[in-house]
Structure 1
């Protein structure tokens, strides 16, 4: 077992990294001096084109001016990036080797230039140097259970610390921007109701929900008089969602199953799935969308909320192992709108009847979560999550917010319809 190495003066951490829990953060790679020097030169040329300031301890600044990225340990910073690319960039932040007074602003600049951060010659050789996704993260029925558990079974208490009272972990539709914490629960209910309206959920509707979350959508659908079957792979989520359903007095209308979407059975008037397709993996997108089709009766409707990325970035990175996959969502991959619509066209009998984008709203939802998480860092620590975890979660929320603020990411609400007589 490796032990945490002593940290050079100036690193912004309060405690050493637990090497047993975070081996690749505790021990930076042993990159050769020439490789580190080449990485530093390439990185400086890249930074000099960007509207930010990169300040390196003991070295000259880089960048054209803007939000500050402060590198406390340039050698380790360059060694990690030169060896592990963007995974190394994130791990360097977890190690406290760099920081930023406004982390979202720095990451927004980088996300805005995602297509050209890596020089064109290296982009063309991506297949040779970029790490490949581990086979263990493939979303087979067994792999999907492990991948979902990695994130969603962390602790219900952890999620409750930064989510609103609805425990809704997806983009809200805000009444106004910028959003306010005081209205987040109402904004989340507005989003849920909008999806239920799209799917035509009403009294008597037989609704299939793929991805339960903590039960808010199932509860609101049942309150309309629907009969809900909801599927999840997270035992922690299922337990709490069932308690919330019982507390709402709706246990006779909601069934929550610990079940893979591929195991879904029965005929349903409507299907709703909120930010679930991102956990499916490109290999299984056809199966996922066929499931929507096969479970719907003729004339049925499916409402799907999905985070999307540009199609050209999907093509460039779909086989690459990323920081998000390593630390946050193993097996995850964001589709593009082109990939979604092509998959629906080629593998189902569904029709894309409507698509609404609201990425600016997700940026605000993430800001509220991030601020809440920061405010309650002491309570997160009391749950047993160490400083490295807290830096990881902060980076994840800021990284995601930056993606939406830059326009690199978007979020869509889709309506798919199935031919047949109207219900």
Structure 2
């Protein structure tokens, strides 16, 4: 299923009250002209067909399509609006232009993957240095302080349990599955996804040595699947979330499975947790912490772990040089999907663990191809559930926004720009060290 099935390239009706920055492009003529020139230069090197309302240009890296090659099509319906948006808001404007229908495609991942592969040099280096002067910065209200974090989390995870249920598998797992091998990941179907999600959780629980009697702290509950599988092993679980929607459904699922006395789910910031635990597990929560709080996150893990305890953490990463270059950049994902988020590099995580804690990173598993397939399966399911999602009150702009987000993420993993790791951290059996 393609984006064409969802949107049919029809005109998108944008409610200006709900989507004020999507309803009409901003930016003046000079910025639009500069953006048009920059866009033409950048895309000329990409294996993408750029199609305009009255003309067509097929280009590859060498400037013309290779014999028999079928290029993904980026169909620009309103070039002026696209350039105005890019000129005023950069890549935020690029995403908003898709939401508004200024451009569309019948192969969204195919179009976005070349952009992801070359993201470091799409904009000339001298212009990248001017980014902070001409593009929007992070709103102060989205810093991940204790006071702000709950509202940041709620903007995504409290959208609707029914929305997430429409495209997630039966485990309601909203993180990368683990299909066992890269080859299996490349060919996995929807029928494989639930078991692959369970395999992901089981590997983390094994890494943290969770078994009968284990005192387990989970940082980031999701909808409770990890709690359930840990409880099945005989562990006693405390799980933390800042999403009231997730907490309520997780508690319902836990009670229905008969583990209400064994599992406790609290609406609590990880920094405020107390107690001592034999194991800590956290699945794709670190991305929401924010770079300035990474030391505090790992120091919290260290603080609550008993001597000799183990932690298992699953986290999305990006290249170290891009993390440094883009750390202060306010992105489309920040604005519309994950306010306050920041992806670390694996190098940054190794450094923080080594310099800010006495934990030792003893195992790393990279599984980016597994996330690419997970995202593809979610996106296909999301598009297939368009009618259901509409009945939940989400309009066409929202559907285009989420389709773009899922495809944008898949392209990141397919290009190798993004990766996802499972990490094991060990705490010394004797007390001591920093923290």
- Indicate whether 1:17 and 2:22 are aligned: no
Residue 59 of structure 1 deviates from its aligned partner by 4.8
Corresponding residue for 1:7? none
Corresponding residue for 1:308? 317
Write the distance in 2 (CA, Å) between the matches of 1:276 and 1:143. 16
Residue 396 of structure 1 deviates from its aligned partner by 0.4
Corresponding residue for 2:206? 197
Equivalent in 103, 113, 121 of residue 116 of structure 1: 121
Write the distance in 2 (CA, Å) between the matches of 1:226 and 1:137. 35
Equivalent in 49, 52, 57 of residue 53 of structure 1: 49
CA contact (8 A) 1:47 1:62 kept: no
Q: What is the 5 A alignment of 1:359-374?
A: 359-374=368-383
- Indicate whether 1:261 and 2:270 are aligned: yes
Secondary structure of the corresponding residue to residue 61 of structure 1: strand
Write the distance in 2 (CA, Å) between the matches of 1:57 and 1:189. 47
Corresponding residue for 1:406? 415
CA contact (8 A) 1:153 1:235 kept: yes
CA contact (8 A) 2:313 2:423 kept: yes
TM score, norm. by length of structure 1: 0.95
Corresponding residue for 2:141? 136
Write the distance in 1 (CA, Å) between the matches of 2:12 and 2:110. 26
Corresponding residue for 2:286? 277
- Indicate whether 1:42 and 2:47 are aligned: no
Corresponding residue for 1:207? 216
Corresponding residue for 1:93? 98
Count how many residue pairs are aligned between Structure 1 and Structure 2: 412
CA contact (8 A) 2:12 2:100 kept: no
Secondary structure of the corresponding residue to residue 116 of structure 1: coil
Q: 1:89 to 1:15 in 2, by over 3 A?
A: closer
Secondary structure of the corresponding residue to residue 114 of structure 1: coil
CA contact (8 A) 1:12 1:97 kept: no
- Indicate whether 1:183 and 2:188 are aligned: no
Write the distance in 1 (CA, Å) between the matches of 2:15 and 2:380. 26
Residue 37 of structure 1 deviates from its aligned partner by 2.0
Where does structure 2 lack aligned partners over 5 or more consecutive residues?
Answer: 1-6, 66-70, 431-435
Q: Which moved more, 1:323-332 or 1:37-46?
A: 37-46
CA contact (8 A) 1:213 1:232 kept: yes
CA contact (8 A) 1:11 1:97 kept: no
Corresponding residue for 2:73? 68
CA contact (8 A) 1:370 1:397 kept: yes
Where does structure 1 lack aligned partners over 5 or more consecutive residues?
Answer: 1-9
Cα RMSD (Å): 1.5
- Indicate whether 1:317 and 2:347 are aligned: no
CA contact (8 A) 1:44 1:62 kept: no
Write the distance in 2 (CA, Å) between the matches of 1:259 and 1:198. 25
Write the distance in 2 (CA, Å) between the matches of 1:69 and 1:188. 33
Write the distance in 1 (CA, Å) between the matches of 2:130 and 2:15. 35
Corresponding residue for 1:332? 341
CA displacement 1:331-362 (0-9 Å, x = unmatched): 01100001111111111110010111000000
TM score, norm. by length of structure 2: 0.92
